[in-house]
Amino acid sequence: MSDAAKNLTETEPRQLDAVVIGAGFAGLCSLYKFREILGMDVQVYETGDGVGGTWYWNRYPGARCDSESFYYCFSFDDDLAQEWEWSGKYPEQPEIERYLNHVADRFDLRRDIQLSTRVTSARFDDATHRWEVRTEHGDCVSAQFLITAVGCLSATNFPDIQGLESFQGESFHTSRWPKGGVDFRGKRVGLIGTGSTGIQATPVIAAEADQLTVFQRTPNFTIPARHAAFAPADQAEIKKNYAEIFQRTRESPAGFPYFPIERSTHDVSAEEREEILEGLWEEGGFKFLWGGFSDLLIDPAANELASEFVRNKIREIVKDPETAELLCPKCHPYGSKRPPIDTDYYVTFNRDNVNLVDIKSAPIEEITSTGLRTTETEYEFDVLVYATGFDAMTGSLLRIDIEGAGGLRLADAWADGPRTFLGIQVAGFPNLFTITGPGSPSVLINMPVAIEHHVDWIADCITHMKEAGKTRVEATPSAQDSWVEHVAEVSEYSLLGTGNSWYVGANIPGKPRVVSPYTGGQPLYRERCEAVVNSGYEGMEFGA
């Protein structure tokens, strides 16, 4: 940008209705809704050099969706749903990236998306009721609304291990994977982390590399995905039933088109329980979590029965009993750490070129120039893969310097953990809307469903403001306090917050332990959101 242009931008920021940060599912959906339906002047900024968000960044080997394709997509346009052909149940990253690029093209969204541009700060001006938004390139724009579509799992977490920079081989974090891929042939690979990402990457890397050593701090329960390609008849059946499928995703507890069975674990005999669990295991995917017994995530005894069922599967699949026991999670209830679904994870540990190392009992002390050293052994590698996850829920928001009314910084407002109203608004930050923010069900719901709900809700709120001639909206501190209390209270009834997971910030040293996603389920959450609208936005203050 020339100096003259820069000066002009400094003095005369471009005036917009809204800035949207991020061009993943949430950003694209927002741009479509706010521009095409509400007629707003919207600018989207995106750090990546392509659209896709999560599906732009996470291109590691084995990356694929673990919700089924035909409901892990947008429902806002019937023609889009009818036109797009998903190749199978669980599409790989490139297919979802292609889908989101198709959406960007189909709705002519690109003209309002500025790629390769990180938003660095946003400041609310009390006098004008507008946000001044700045980017890493020096852009400065003024917008009435600031809409964060930054994703819940976007802020990369590099582990805090001594010597990280000293490794002389190649090293990669899974969420910043090179576009050209990594050639593992003939190489010794060390992989740290056994969350959803590590569990997806392990079988694929093992099939290519000379040797793979997986460093596991906490074992995770994973259920087979049982991926299958769609035949034309499957596609036709899905398309015929799309309206009903989408409706069910909006009504079910977790945004999937199915519901838990209407029985608790203790209502059935041991034989029947095993039969039901076996059926869920055979069917594969998230049904084991969200389509099984109704008390799975509430009753520790019921959960333990399902947990032991999975452990027994691990013991059946993995031939070496010591490795099998190491892979069996014993310190957290099933589902309390976000359970992955996998393709051939456990069986991969039967390969001669794969080795599992327990770093709970012998932690990694240092990354060395040639590999890494645990308290027990030194390992040499050609490639190190960090599948160590994210500073989830809050990290992507707090990495932007956001300053609300009266100079209140979001980082200070959330010093003891995130505080929001419905996960959508933050007291003291007028005209800021956080799509799938902390305090909303977000990651506990099939994400596109959660995103579309929030975008619609925000659009309704903005329409309400316009009709009432208001220019400023914010949650009241007392409404926010009640919501935060409610989120904490419902989490007491659930096992979801009991593990040391990113759900509660436990994966980031020093992060306050707070159950960030709303665990009350989608129906209750939607009811609460609707009640706010029906009451004339009780809990929110409007100004002009």
Can you give the binding site for ligand NAP, defined by CB under 6 A?
64-66, 153, 159-161, 192-198, 200, 217-218, 338, 359, 364, 387-390, 443, 502, 507
Nearest approach, Cβ of 459 to ligand NAP (angstroms)? 26
Nearest approach, Cβ of 63 to ligand NAP (angstroms)? 6
Nearest approach, Cβ of 359 to ligand NAP (angstroms)? 6
Distance CA 362, CA 317 (A): 25
User: Bridge partners of 216?
Assistant: 358
User: Bridge partners of 212?
Assistant: 189, 354
Nearest approach, Cβ of 18 to ligand NAP (angstroms)? 28
Residues in CB range of 171: below 8 A, 6 or more apart = 383, 384, 385, 386
- The answer to whether 26 and 151 are in contact (CB under 8 A) is yes
CA atoms within 13 A on the CB side of 280: 24
| Distance linking the first and last C-alpha atoms of the chain | 35
- Angstrom CA distances, 542 to 30, 278, 430, 462, stand at 22, 53, 9, 11
Distance CA 395, CA 516 (A): 12
Q: Would you give the distance in Å from CA 436 to the centre of its chain?
A: 9
Complex with ligand NAP: residue 142 or 374, whichever CB lies closer: 374
Complex with ligand NAP: residue 122 or 392, whichever CB lies closer: 392
Nearest approach, Cβ of 467 to ligand NAP (angstroms)? 38
Complex with ligand NAP: residue 107 or 346, whichever CB lies closer: 346
Complex with ligand NAP: residue 65 or 103, whichever CB lies closer: 65
Complex with ligand NAP: residue 124 or 215, whichever CB lies closer: 215
Nearest approach, Cβ of 192 to ligand NAP (angstroms)? 5
Distance CA 514, CA 502 (A): 10
Nearest approach, Cβ of 470 to ligand NAP (angstroms)? 37
How are beta strands 14-21 and 42-45 bridged, if at all? parallel
Complex with ligand NAP: residue 143 or 443, whichever CB lies closer: 443
- The answer to whether 90 and 225 are in contact (CB under 8 A) is yes
Nearest approach, Cβ of 389 to ligand NAP (angstroms)? 3
CA-closest candidate to residue 439, choices 403, 400, 475, 385: 475
Distance CA 133, CA 356 (A): 47
Complex with ligand NAP: residue 338 or 472, whichever CB lies closer: 338
Complex with ligand NAP: residue 200 or 265, whichever CB lies closer: 200
CA-closest candidate to residue 400, choices 151, 152, 134: 134
Complex with ligand NAP: residue 32 or 502, whichever CB lies closer: 502
How are beta strands 371-374 and 364-367 bridged, if at all? antiparallel
Complex with ligand NAP: residue 193 or 371, whichever CB lies closer: 193
CA atoms within 13 A on the CB side of 136: 13
Distance CA 185, CA 206 (A): 10
Distance CA 142, CA 15 (A): 5
Nearest approach, Cβ of 101 to ligand NAP (angstroms)? 19
Complex with ligand NAP: residue 33 or 338, whichever CB lies closer: 338
Nearest approach, Cβ of 415 to ligand NAP (angstroms)? 23
Nearest approach, Cβ of 97 to ligand NAP (angstroms)? 13
Nearest approach, Cβ of 58 to ligand NAP (angstroms)? 7
Q: Which residue is nearest to ligand NAP (CB)?
A: 195
- Angstrom CA distances, 41 to 44, 57, 144, stand at 10, 27, 10
Q: Structure tokens of 443?
A: 């990651």
Complex with ligand NAP: residue 226 or 263, whichever CB lies closer: 226
Complex with ligand NAP: residue 158 or 542, whichever CB lies closer: 158
- What are the two backbone dihedrals, phi and then psi, of residue 195, each rounded to the nearest 5 degrees? -85, -165
The residue with tokens 């926010």 is: 480
| Ranges of H-type helices in 12-159 | 25-31, 54-57, 78-83, 93-106
CA-closest candidate to residue 438, choices 386, 378, 401, 491: 491
Nearest approach, Cβ of 59 to ligand NAP (angstroms)? 12
CA-closest candidate to residue 131, choices 119, 123, 139, 121: 123
Distance CA 29, CA 455 (A): 7
Nearest approach, Cβ of 127 to ligand NAP (angstroms)? 41
Distance CA 47, CA 181 (A): 20
Q: Structure tokens of 34?
A: 């706010």
Q: Structure tokens of 132?
A: 């001044």
Complex with ligand NAP: residue 338 or 454, whichever CB lies closer: 338
